[in-house]
Chain A
Amino acid sequence: MQVKEKIIEKIFLLIALSSIFILGLITFFIFEEGLPLILKIGPKAFLLGERWIPSKGSFGIYPMIVSSFWVTFGALLLGIPLGLACTIFLSELIPPSIGILLRPAIQLLAAIPSVIYGFWGLIVLVPLIQNYLGGPGLSIFAGSLVLGFMILPTIITISEDSLKALPPSYKAGALALGATHWQTIWRVLIPAAKSGIVASIILGMGRAIGETMAMIMILGNAVKMPSSFLDSARTLTTNIGIEMGYASGDHRQALFATGIVLFFIIMALNTLAIFLSRRRVG
């Protein structure tokens, strides 16, 4: 019995290690393919160059870095208020009968494939924006709207967990001191769960920056510096997604190099989220 347990433990250890091994392999591969190009044209020309014309050897991804953050910022503008309101409602105010419906619905939001979000955005949102706000319709605004909905499940589930993890004494204490339910939520529970909520927002941000398929369909993918929310734009991920099929040589390496930049951004965000969620509550 004891031996069997040991064997099973080792097998699981091996499986767990294999996931790290694959991560290492991917990292190595991205760097091996992408780094030579960054070194060849220089990190400054690559990161801060404003022109992306691979056929003429210009590989500047600055507009894409900026666009990535524009789109993500727009998504957070929609996602944070909606997500927080939904979290508060779900964990504190909800009548049980609605909770049965609402929770699975929010989880379903995460289960919808991103290409469906993209298709919906393309067919419904883009013509609306084109008709009522002007511009090409395929725009940062449309992308942000769709992404805002896509990051809701991440924000809601994680921040709800952190609210639920608070000791019941916080709430009991606040109520006993004469605070109203709303005062308890806003002044005691939310501040106490702050680190978890911030972590959820950062993870949502990571998801927003990493989203590809829906963005290829909605953003319009123009390679220029965006000047308004109604402009078309190309993010780091869509740059890789849209050009992978035909790229070869330096162009292909430049796409891997784009992946390196993305890798660092996502790593930074996740590290921040882990760091924040590990901090002691209160």
Chain B
Amino acid sequence: MDNPYTEKMIGKVEYWNDGLMDQKEVRQYFNIPSFHRNGINSIYANSKPLLWFLFFFLLISAGVGCQRSKAGITVAGSTSVEPFAELLAEEYMSNYPQSHIYVQGGGSTAGIEAVITRAAKIGMSSRPLLGQEKNLYSVTIAKDAIAIILHPKNPIQDLSLDQIREVFSGKIKSWKELKGISRPIVLVTREEGSGTREAFQKFVMEKEDISLESLVQDSNGAVRQVVASNPSAIGYISLGLVNNQVKALKISGVEPNLTDIENGKYMLVRPFLFVFNEEPVGETKSFLEFVLSPLAQKLLLKEGLVPILPKIAKE
């Protein structure tokens, strides 16, 4: 006798099929062999070890997950700060091998929210705190300049702030109007809510809107990628992330370099913040102290940020 449950199933398939196929065809279609008495049992028997393996795998991985989150500090927030925080975390962990620091992106607002809900110990913000957020404990760990970037082949080297504003608001549409190549300008901006965009809006655009025609990318890296692959593109990213794929524009003759940022000639500078729920203690405190130490600040300087200890900048 065939297994009754298989029969039931084939009956159902037949019903669903509106009786178009007979049982034999259904069997062929679904690759169901005519079952002998132990047919279905043998299928179960074969997959048992695999199921057990999966079960234990899940159990073990869950256990590992719990252990890790207990011992570590989670740092979450701005994608502009993220690469630098990762670097600092690595350095810190090589000095203190038993501690774990997990760095996540997500954005300034998400990071601050994570601190408020205590999902993260430290929030990274690339914009000043607003409204109620000001009640949180925050420390400026470094300053960052925003560079206006172009494709390296673009002949333009220098623009004034007014020109950049007119480009980004869509009033100047071709490089020709700026005495460059005769191609339309491709604007690349960050998404609404991004700390970098807010800073750019405040420093460059002021009351003007960024053109709705502009391409929108959701990270510094993506903006750089688009500008690097398009000779007529212009965008803005953290100075620390400018590499040889793109070139940083001079603003009214001022190059975005450390000296001119320090003496205030280069204006597009914003703070990088670490945000805490309350004054940090224990492990969190020792990580913060490390970040503010000369060693870490030198590291940040090497990566293109402006350290908050003026001495290091001068050395």
Q: A residues near B, CB below 8 A?
A: 51-56, 122, 126-127, 130, 136-138, 164-168, 216-217, 220-224, 232, 234, 241-243, 245-248, 251, 280-281
Contacts and interface: CB of A to CB of B under 8 A. Distances in A.
Contacts of B218: 216, 221, 241-243, 245
B213 interface: yes
Contact of A245 (B17, B107, B209, B222): B107
A209 B225 CA distance: 26
Contacts of B233: 136
Given A243-B193, A245-B105, 9 more contacts: A53-B192, A54-B193, A137-B229, A165-B21, A220-B216, A221-B218, A222-B216, A245-B110, A246-B192
Given A221-B215, A221-B216, A222-B215, A245 B229 contact: no
Given A222-B216, A246-B110, A137 B193 contact: no
Contacts of B79: 245
Which of A165, A232, A241 counts the most B-chain CB atoms under 10 A from its CB?
Answer: A165
Given A246-B108, A248-B113, A281-B20, A223 B216 contact: yes
B109 A248 contact: yes
Interface string B169-210: 000000000000000001000011111000001000000010
9 contacts: A53-B192, A127-B229, A164-B29, A165-B29, A221-B217, A222-B212, A243-B218, A246-B192, A251-B192
Contacts of B108: 246
Nearest to A282: B20
B236 to A, nearest CB: 16
B137 to A, nearest CB: 20
Contacts of A56: 209
A168 B17 CA distance: 14
Considering residues B110, B191, B194, B217, which has the most beta carbons from chain A within 10 angstroms of its beta carbon? B191
Interface string B24-63: 0100010000000000000000000000000000000000
A245 B215 contact: no
Interface of B: 17-18, 20-21, 25, 29, 79, 105-110, 113, 186, 191-195, 201, 209, 212-218, 222, 225-226, 229-230, 233
A242 B106 contact: no
B21 A55 contact: no
A230 to B, nearest CB: 12
A222 B214 contact: yes
B29 A246 contact: no
Contact of B216 (A217, A234, A247): A234
Contacts of A126: 229
A224 B107 CA distance: 24
Contacts of B209: 53, 56
Contacts, number: 91
A51 B106 contact: no
B194 A246 contact: yes
B192 A243 contact: yes
Contacts of B106: 245
Contacts of A166: 20
A220 B94 CA distance: 40
For the complex of A and B, the 6 pairs showing the least CB-CB separation, nearest first, are: A246-B193, A245-B107, A221-B216, A246-B107, A220-B215, A224-B212
Contacts of A280: 18
Given A51-B212, A246-B194, A165 B109 contact: no
Contacts of A246: 107-110, 191-195
Nearest to A280: B18
B237 to A, nearest CB: 16
Q: Most chain-A CB neighbours within 10 Å: which of B29, B106, B107, B108?
A: B107
A211 to B, nearest CB: 16
Nearest to A223: B212
A200 to B, nearest CB: 17
A37 to B, nearest CB: 15
A55 B192 contact: yes
A40 to B, nearest CB: 18
B21 A136 contact: no
A136 B218 CA distance: 17
Most chain A C-beta atoms within 10 Å of own C-beta, residue among B79, B106, B194, B214? B214
Nearest to A53: B209
A130 B230 contact: yes
A138 B189 CA distance: 14
Contacts of A221: 191, 215-218
B215 A232 contact: yes
B8 to A, nearest CB: 12
A274 to B, nearest CB: 13
Nearest to B5: A5
Contacts of A220: 215-216, 226
**Of listed A127, A248, A251, residue having the most chain B CB within 10 A:** A248
Contacts of A281: 18, 20
A221 B197 CA distance: 15
B213, B217, B218, B225 interface centre (most CB from chain A within 10 Å): B218
A97 to B, nearest CB: 20
Contacts of A241: 218
Given A138-B226, A248-B113, A54 B192 contact: yes
A53 to B, nearest CB: 7
A152 to B, nearest CB: 22
B213 A224 contact: yes
